[in-house]
Amino acid sequence: MNINLHIEKLILDGLDIPRSQRELLKATVETELGKLLASQELPKNWQPNVSIPTIEVAPKSHPSQMGQQIAQAIYQGMNL
């Protein structure tokens, strides 16, 4: 099965991520979300508009840690 996912906008309110780290954050979100979608099934009635639960990220978290948390929150939102 192929899954095509388009995230139009991801707003990270309150996070100060240096420009040099943004691509790493983006790549980590994509990779982690891809792993979650490949390893677990989506509910049959999931909606394309996802509400993501609020997550707390430590202020000095590495972008890869943030990306994993964000991807997990997106996946949780898909399963609500």
Q: Where are the domains of the chain?
A: 20-38+58-80
DSSP state of 41: P
Q: Which pTM does this prediction carry? A: 0.79
Q: Which two tokens stand for residue 77?
A: 């939102």
Q: What is the pLDDT of residue 80?
A: 62
Q: What is the pLDDT of residue 1?
A: 63
Give the pLDDT confidence of 43-70 residue by residue, as tens digits: 666 666 777 777 888 777 888 999 999 8
- The yes-or-no verdict on residue 38 having pLDDT over 70 is yes
Q: What is the pLDDT of residue 55?
A: 82
